[in-house]
Amino acid sequence: MRDRPSGIRTSQLDPHARRILERAELEGIELIRFLYADHGGVIRGKAASRSRLAERLGTGIGHTVAMMAMNMLDQLQDVEQLGPVGEVRIVPDPATYVPLPHAPGAAAMLSDLRRPDGSPWEACARTFLKDAIAELATEGYTLVAAFEPEFTLGRRLPDPTGGPDRLVPLDDSLCYANIGFDTAHDYAVKLVRALETQGLRVEHYHPELGPGQQELSIRHAPALRAADNHVLFRETARGVAMRMQMWATLAPKPLADQAGNGAHLHLSLWDDKVNVFGEDNDVRAAFIGGLLAHLPGLTALTCGSVNSFRRLAPRTWAGAYAVYGPDNREAAVRVCSALGESGEPNLELKTSDSSANPYLSLGAVIHAGLDGIRRGLDPGEPVGVDPDTLPGRYPRLPASLGEALDALEADEVLMEALGPLRRRAYVAVKRSEAAAFAAHDTAYELYHHVRAF
């Protein structure tokens, strides 16, 4: 292969990088997006041109540290060490290269934010998840996960009076109704193809409860890959819609009076080749104990936006109570029964949506479960009823982002795991969002969450 204009000889590159360059050339890729998730939960990045890719694979692309102090309204927060002075690099993970079928000529790579010398940076969310996975490995376990995303498909309607644009749902089809497959058919087929091209294995798809609501689940994968997959899913669901002059959103509650969009988090814990969550045992019980004990604070990370708390209401199957139970769809933690002979039982955390940064969310879930295992936390009795039918009996999770942040700041395990810079930045960014939306009406909140997620 000939040398690249950057002056780097392809023969000097590792085989992974060489393969990416070859693929990019073959696939006619001009721009390669280096993507990361920020503290507001927004997926952002910069794109390298193909002619500079060889060099950029190694050095990454320079970026201001301040972007990790940006909230989801693009308002920069005042966070020490994340000001106008200072540089990180967006360094792509070569294993994650995918062409983007909905953006012909573009590819994407999931990236870490690193210091200029290449060492890990304390405010990188993907590094947080990698560290959590490594910590779990010290106890001999690996985590396999899948986000189960719901989203709303519709059209973007400008407000003639100059107010925020509105999302008009695509249809009024009923839950699982066959006619809903037809209204969203062209979109759904394009989405499946686009996801499969990127190596995401589509499990199933159906029209969900609310107007325009869809659900499409992706096969489980090792934790880091599961979070990477969810980033690609979010961007593909929205990108495919945009190419079809539609508007798709994974915002937790894009329509205030309709069903919310969850991203239930499916989890199984593996000890070598054994699924520890496959049956009732002390480790599974302790992991659940850890999740329940930390859920109030964890919610600030798994349901990370102001809009999340419109969704997180009782009697909506969103996981508003810190309880667990076998196939209990009102419990935050559902112990799922096995699907057929090849299926494995797993845990499902319902208190999770797509406005979260998936790396922070899954990393924090690992820390919570790990704390449960290390301390042998007792999850109590499983709950076999809708907890909302017994008022005052079961712990209700925070009802607002502000309450969840109070709980997070009081949670020593999660705060310690986040580390000084990340926790300062996260809390500042999220507090600023809570304050900003408190000063505006519902239409403003809905528009901004639909736009961002």
Shortest Cβ 178–Mg ion spacing (Å) = 17
Site for ligand GLU in 16-45 (CB under 6 A): none
Instruction: Give 307 or 316: the residue with its C-beta nearer to ligand GLU.
Output: 316
Quick one: angle between helices 223-243 and 185-197, nearest 10? 140
Shortest Cβ 329–ligand GLU spacing (Å) = 6
Q: Identify what 433 binds: Mg ion, ligand GLU, none; CB under 5 to 8 Å per kind.
A: none
Sort 219 into a burial class: Cβ within 10 Å, 0-12 / 13-18 / 19+: exposed
| CA dist., res. 325 & res. 383, Å (int) | 5
Site for ligand GLU in 329-348 (CB under 6 A): 329
Q: Identify what 259 binds: Mg ion, ligand GLU, none; CB under 5 to 8 Å per kind.
A: ligand GLU
Site for ligand GLU in 216-275 (CB under 6 A): 259-260, 262
Binding mask 112-151 for ligand GLU (x = CB under 6 A): --------------------------------------x-
Shortest Cβ 148–ligand GLU spacing (Å) = 8
Q: Identify what 112 binds: Mg ion, ligand GLU, none; CB under 5 to 8 Å per kind.
A: none
Q: Identify what 91 binds: Mg ion, ligand GLU, none; CB under 5 to 8 Å per kind.
A: none
Does position 350 bind ligand GLU by CB under 6 A? Answer: yes
| CA dist., res. 357 & res. 231, Å (int) | 9
DSSP 333-364: EEEEPP-TTT---EEEE-S--TTS-HHHHHHH
Quick one: angle between helices 420-438 and 401-409, nearest 10? 160
Among the listed residues 318, 349, 364, 452, the single contact to ligand GLU using CB under 6 A: 318
Shortest Cβ 379–ligand GLU spacing (Å) = 21
* Signed CA dihedral, 117, 97, 269, 151: sign only: positive
| CA dist., res. 260 & res. 214, Å (int) | 11
Please give the angle made by the CA atoms of 190, 196 and 197, to the nearest 5 degrees.
90
| CA dist., res. 37 & res. 301, Å (int) | 13
Among the listed residues 126, 294, 310, 311, the single contact to ligand GLU using CB under 6 A: 311
Instruction: Give 141 or 317: the residue with its C-beta nearer to Mg ion.
Output: 317
Binding mask 269-308 for ligand GLU (x = CB under 6 A): ----------------------------------------
Sort 62 into a burial class: Cβ within 10 Å, 0-12 / 13-18 / 19+: exposed
Measured over all CA atoms, what is the biggest interatomic distance in the chain, rounded to whole angstroms? 71
Q: What is the CA radius of gyration of the chain?
A: 21
Instruction: Give 101 or 387: the residue with its C-beta nearer to ligand GLU.
Output: 387
Instruction: Give 151 or 324: the residue with its C-beta nearer to Mg ion.
Output: 151
Stretch that binds ligand GLU, among 102-110, 174-182, 311-319, 364-372 (CB under 6 A): 311-319
Instruction: Give 38 or 215: the residue with its C-beta nearer to Mg ion.
Output: 215
Site for Mg ion in 198-227 (CB under 5 A): 215
Instruction: Give 129 or 216: the residue with its C-beta nearer to Mg ion.
Output: 216
Instruction: Give 127 or 316: the residue with its C-beta nearer to ligand GLU.
Output: 316
| CA dist., res. 280 & res. 277, Å (int) | 7
* Residue matched to tokens 């029964």: 337
Q: Give the chain's end-to-end CA distance (angstroms, integer).
A: 41
Instruction: Give 72 or 259: the residue with its C-beta nearer to ligand GLU.
Output: 259
Instruction: Give 101 or 212: the residue with its C-beta nearer to ligand GLU.
Output: 212
Cβ-proximal residue to ligand GLU, closest one: 262
**Number of neighbours of residue 359 by Cβ within 10 angstroms:** 27
Query: What are phi and psi for residue 47, nearest 5 degrees?
Result: -115, 140
Binding site for ligand GLU (CB under 6 A): 150, 259-260, 262, 311, 316-318, 329, 350
Binding site for Mg ion (CB under 5 A): 215
